[in-house]
Structure 1
Amino acid sequence: MFETIEKEIVKNKQFLNDVIEGLSADSKHISSKYFYDKKGDAIFQQIMHMDEYYLTDAELDIFQTHKCEIAKIFSPEKEPFNLIEFGAGDGMKTKVLLKELLNHEIPFDYIPIDISQNALDQLNKSLTKEMPDLSFKGIQGDYFDVLNKLKEDNNKRNVILFLGSNIGNFTNEEALSFTSNISGKLNPGDLLFIGVDLKKDPRKILLAYNDPTGITAEFNYNLLRRINRELGGNFDIDQFEHHPTYDPVTGECKSALLSKIDQEVAIDDQTFHFAKWEPIHTEISRKYSLKQLHQLANNAGFKVKIDLFDSNKYFVDSIWEIKD
């Protein structure tokens, strides 16, 4: 029990430090990773089921259409492997693949890694009910700490899943650093399976992050509510406005919370001034062209094994392997 309490204290301290650092910057920002507490998880589940949020259905289409092909790529001779998922969430799409692997009687360990323990607990509960024979080894924490440990297990292929176009949450520099870090921790024969949202009609993209019912706005507001709940902040949510934008040139869809008035907000023992219409940047969701995606793979030390598309070609799941 005391170990759990100690972990929570450390986690909250990191949250506090990151928020103070972000709000002290010339351009105020808060990392999008803090969207995902229990309430944030629930709101994101709503987002994934919105008609406007096409990303989930597009990637699900890929899994349902290509599940047999994917299973054979992961384990051509039915050899055992580790299926490691970064940011697993509720596992809705992954379950299609898990069932296919089990149906083919391919031996594997499913190792979802997520910053949210709540998400892992819910995933474990649903998978235990739906697939009791599945080997589930969920881990809360840092992706790369886990990869370091798995790299030492040379008897099994490691296959990394990074779905949902989460790579789009990074800047160009961060995306290269992230994928390069992955390639540096993989062994020959290991694979990276990466889901990426492609450039398309700007109106369709923006609608996915600014739905008319306000669910995406609430997802952003919950970030401020979480600061109030966990860090003793006094944000007045009604005095902030959700403001998403999309730039088709850079492919960046950005979300911000704008202060509607000149105001001050207290967090812990510090006070932050907000000028009228000053933004807090909360998220970037970058869209790629196929050429840009392949350049990223090459620069990070990978070669593209295959690209799999949904029926509308809105989305791609690209399978990368380490260069020879």
Structure 2
Amino acid sequence: MDNIIKAELLKGLSASPMYIPAWYRYDEEGSRLNDVCIEQCKWYYFHRFELKILSDILSEIIDYFKDSRMVVDLGSGNATKTMLILDKLLEKDESLTYVPVDISTEFLNKTASNLKTIYGNKLEIKPIGDEYIVALRRIKTITDTKLIVWFGSLQNVSHEKQLDYLLEIRNAMQVDDKFLMTLDVTDTSRKETIELAYLDPEGYSENFNLNSIHRLNKEMNGNIDVSKFKIKNELVANSASDNCSNVNVWIEAIENCEVDIGKLDLTRKFQKGERLYLHEEGGISCKYTIEQLEYILNKASLGLEKYWRNEHAAVIVVNRK
């Protein structure tokens, strides 16, 4: 795993423009900072509207998953939203199998321990600490009727890779399985609202995003001095049906400087104004129209069975074609 991480980091830091993969933010500290950001940052609208719509329609959507005996939770985090589903399913079933998936094994184990305390023997917990695609290929071998949930995280994968993930989800599904996800459907004319959500004045988003820099310095013997950079972001709106809108986040050199990443045997010189993106090319925090969503689901041989939406969030039930 360490060699894979090093290879991905070296690939990004040797690219033009340079980038650090978005997933690298999510060690134990990054996962904690993410939870703090989405729960405490008043500028981050998506989490509040996502919870509201899930709560509003919970009794309605649960009918779609009444035969599920297993819940697979991609990017489980602290499982706050998934617990809404678990509670409802356990009203009619005495027990369930819960498979949380998260790249941060330490954070995942804490979540599993907390849920075991809450649910006891009602919930058989089988955590998978790995990257999504690796986890989905393991899940593919499970024949139990499954509900796969992915709350708000597909949008944090670059658009180029979203189809790859959806295809893996489709391949992991049996014919009777369901896939439930939430997505940001904010109108991109609200540029200021969107940009403030991902770079807020109180610094919640900045602390989370810069965790990839701090982790690089700590784990890879880097010497990136963040005081020589300024963090910035920008909404890139796209109305084409075969694409989506996204947010770019980067740090920009405010003076000429040089950085060394010891364990990668890499030295890079930055000119004033040069950028280091905190995600792969194609942006993160994607925003969708329903037409854009249907397009990419169709390409993955997945069907949009039902959706609900409010001002910012949509809940989508997806089946395998």
User: Is the TM value for this pair above 0.5?
Assistant: yes
Within the candidate set 245, 256, 262, 2:256 is matched to 262
Task: Determine the structure 2 residue equivalent to 1:28.
Answer: 18
Q: How far, CA to CA, are the matches of 1:143 and 1:41 in structure 2?
A: 16
Superposed CA deviations along residues 202-248 of structure 1, whole A, max 9, x for unmatched, are: 22111100111112112222211111111111111111111010123
Task: Determine the structure 1 residue equivalent to 2:277.
Answer: 281
Give 1:208's aligned amino acid.
A
The answer for unaligned runs of 5 or more in structure 2 is 239-243
Does structure 1 residue 302 correspond to structure 2 residue 302? yes
Moved more, 28-37 or 168-177: 168-177
* Deviation of the 1:198 alpha carbon: 0.6
Q: How far, CA to CA, are the matches of 2:320 and 2:209 in structure 1?
A: 37
The answer for unaligned runs of 5 or more in structure 1 is 1-9
* Deviation of the 1:147 alpha carbon: 3.1
Superposed CA deviations along residues 120-175 of structure 1, whole A, max 9, x for unmatched, are: 12211221222222221111013333333433333x212211112x2122333311
Change (3 A) 1:150 1:38: closer
Give 2:135's aligned amino acid.
V
Q: How far, CA to CA, are the matches of 2:253 and 2:94 in structure 1?
A: 53
Within the candidate set 166, 175, 182, 1:195 is matched to 182
Task: Determine the structure 2 residue equivalent to 1:41.
Answer: 31
Is the 2:137–2:168 contact (alpha carbons within 8 Å) kept by the matching residues of 1? no
Is the 2:301–2:320 contact (alpha carbons within 8 Å) kept by the matching residues of 1? yes
Task: Determine the structure 1 residue equivalent to 2:92.
Answer: 104
TM-score w.r.t. structure 1 length? 0.89
Q: How far, CA to CA, are the matches of 1:64 and 1:117 in structure 2?
A: 29
Give 1:71's aligned amino acid.
I
Is the 2:186–2:311 contact (alpha carbons within 8 Å) kept by the matching residues of 1? no
Q: How far, CA to CA, are the matches of 2:74 and 2:223 in structure 1?
A: 33
Superposed CA deviations along residues 250-270 of structure 1, whole A, max 9, x for unmatched, are: 511111111111111011232
Within the candidate set 36, 41, 45, 1:54 is matched to 45
Give 1:51's aligned amino acid.
K
Q: How many residues align?
A: 306
Within the candidate set 8, 32, 35, 1:18 is matched to 8
Moved more, 145-154 or 186-195: 145-154
Within the candidate set 77, 100, 106, 1:89 is matched to 77
Moved more, 203-212 or 103-112: 103-112
Q: How far, CA to CA, are the matches of 1:220 and 1:150 in structure 2?
A: 30
Task: Determine the structure 1 residue equivalent to 2:108.
Answer: 120
Is the 1:82–1:159 contact (alpha carbons within 8 Å) kept by the matching residues of 2? yes
Q: How big is the alpha-carbon RMSD for the aligned residues of Structure 1 and Structure 2?
A: 1.7
Identity %: 26
Change (3 A) 1:227 1:171: closer
Does structure 1 residue 151 correspond to structure 2 residue 140? yes
